[in-house]
Structure 1
Amino acid sequence: MKNTVAKVVLGLGMAGVLVGCGAEETAKDSFDQIKEKGTLVVGLDDTFAPMGFRDSDGEIVGFDIDLAKEVGERLDLDVEFQPIDWALKETELTNGNIDLIWNGYTITDERKKQVDFSSPYLENSQIIIVLEDSEIQTKEDLSGKVIAAQQSSSAVDAINADESTIIEEFANEEVVLYPSNNDVFNDLASERSDAIVVDETLGRYYMKQNEDISYRVLEDNFGEEEYAVGMRKEDDKLTEAINQALEEMKTDGTYDKIYAKWFAE
């Protein structure tokens, strides 16, 4: 999103049942089972502010959290939030450990091979952040520099997809990967990396919350994109229900109220 500060546990027994049942079980649309159970399990990276993260009291909050809770109310379902290893998000979904991936989840061609997406609900871009006094001014200045990003993130996908193939010019011809975006920012703050690539929604929010460190966002970026909810490919009824709820929220103003709460600036 341009010029804005814009990311429960199924019992082990149930997980075992799902694995034991194999493809036959997971190949069915699960919406009826979800309604019967009364609970929708959302997988997320609980460090992805302001989309889904833990506040000072340890509660999971965020823009996506509020959206998911509102969708749950409209579908008459409780929503439980399950922190997961973001690198394994599609595996968690396919295995039935979660019902949705909903946490600043970017639509990409590669992900479309594994999941179905809801209608897009938020625009985003992959921005390049450096420290204020860095000599880096453009994307071309990243040549020979150490660049960091979150592993299995859309930031990495965007870098790899960049037509300039600039990754070949990075130090060691690679992106330094970390499990969370907090680690990525810490790497830049400690000057172990020269620049980082992150979602604009997260990046601008993080910088606003950490104004003791002087960051700078380059005018260049690694592309525009859209966020959506990820579901299993066979869950057509669930996809339709979520799309309808999101559309109703945009029509009646609920979406705008939630947006204003998190992205007022």
Structure 2
Amino acid sequence: MKKAPLALAATALLLTACGSSGTSATTESGVSLISEGKLTVCTNPPYAPFEYEENGKIVGLDADIAAAIASDLAVEAEMYTTSFEGIQSGVALSSGQCDIALSGITVTDERKTVMNFTSSYVDDNLAILVPADSSITGETDLSGRKVGVQQATSGEKYAKDAGADTVQYEDNGLLLQALQTGQVDAVVGNITVLSEMLTADSSLKVAQEIETNEKIAAAVSTENTALLDSANATLKKMQDDGRLADLREKYLGLSQ
């Protein structure tokens, strides 16, 4: 399902060119952006409910947060599809492909060395997803089993640490397909995302939810502190006025 459609791929190439050409702009509030009038946002759909395509447009929790951050900067948010490896490694930000990354990103100490994180907007756990008739009941059953993971994620690290024979996929659309067709015995990933897979296919079940208390946040280049401050100010306003709670309930079913 994922590899970016041609139209999105073309947009990605165009944005990359813009980002590397030095044609940057500064908002009235003093925030530097790679393109005038736009907040270019790196993301990696399909990763519902954080980001996914609907009627040719990227929507979801991250898209709505990006729109709010852009609105406070008096610019438009433009979603830019790129690989999650490029996002989590910091390369997409440091090379000027985008201003900010919103892609269900878990905050880790390693990632903090190559990007700056905003305050978190979702707390999450990991989970193991299996077919309903699977004999896998939890972490202890993963050793030696073929387990699907999205590359460069905390789910991949967890599965490897559990002794699984991990199989990498670029996105969760491919992960779901692999589990449905028996290419893998289980999938390990964030519970918020795996719950969406359960909605799409009732023949699956969560074998175990793993309490990791991961923090999901947006990320910016280590050099763009002005954008970090602005994004944090928007997230605080959204927390205070209830918009974040509304979005978590809308997309994640969380009433917190």
Distance 2:41 2:118 in 1: 14
- 1:76 maps to what in 2? 74
1:65 aligns with 2:63: yes
- 1:263 Cα offset (Å): 2.7
Which letter does structure 1 place at the counterpart of 2:248?
A: Y
**Aligned 1:158-237 pairs, distance under 5 A:** 158-160=158-160, 165-167=161-163, 170=164, 174-211=165-202, 214-221=203-210, 223-237=212-226
SS across alignment from 1:50: coil
The 4+ residue runs of structure 1 with deviation greater than 4 A are 8-13
1:110 aligns with 2:110: yes
**Aligned 1:25-36 pairs, distance under 5 A:** 32-34=31-33
Over aligned residues, Cα RMSD in angstroms? 2.3
TM-score, with length taken from structure 2: 0.85
Question: Alpha-carbon deviations, 1:29-74, whole Å to 9, x = none?
Answer: xx6332982211000012111101102x222110111111122112
Question: Alpha-carbon deviations, 1:104-155, whole Å to 9, x = none?
Answer: 0110111111111001110111111111100111211112211110112232
- 1:222 Cα offset (Å): 6.9
User: Which structure's residues are more often helix, by fraction?
Assistant: 1
Distance 1:220 1:123 in 2: 14
The answer to whether the Cα contact below 8 Å between 1:181 and 1:198 also exists between their aligned partners in 2 is no
Distance 2:60 2:116 in 1: 23
The answer to whether the Cα contact below 8 Å between 1:137 and 1:218 also exists between their aligned partners in 2 is yes
Match of 1:246 among 217, 235, 245: 235
Which letter does structure 2 place at the counterpart of 1:33?
A: S
Distance 1:86 1:264 in 2: 25
Structure 1: stretches of 5+ with no match in the other structure: 1-7, 26-30
- 2:4 maps to what in 1? none
SS across alignment from 1:103: strand
Structure 2: stretches of 5+ with no match in the other structure: 1-10, 25-29
Match of 1:17 among 17, 21, 24: 21
User: Which structure's residues are more often strand, by fraction?
Assistant: 2
How many residue pairs match? The answer is 237
**Larger relative contact order (Cα-Cα within 8 Å, sequence gap ≥ 6):** 1
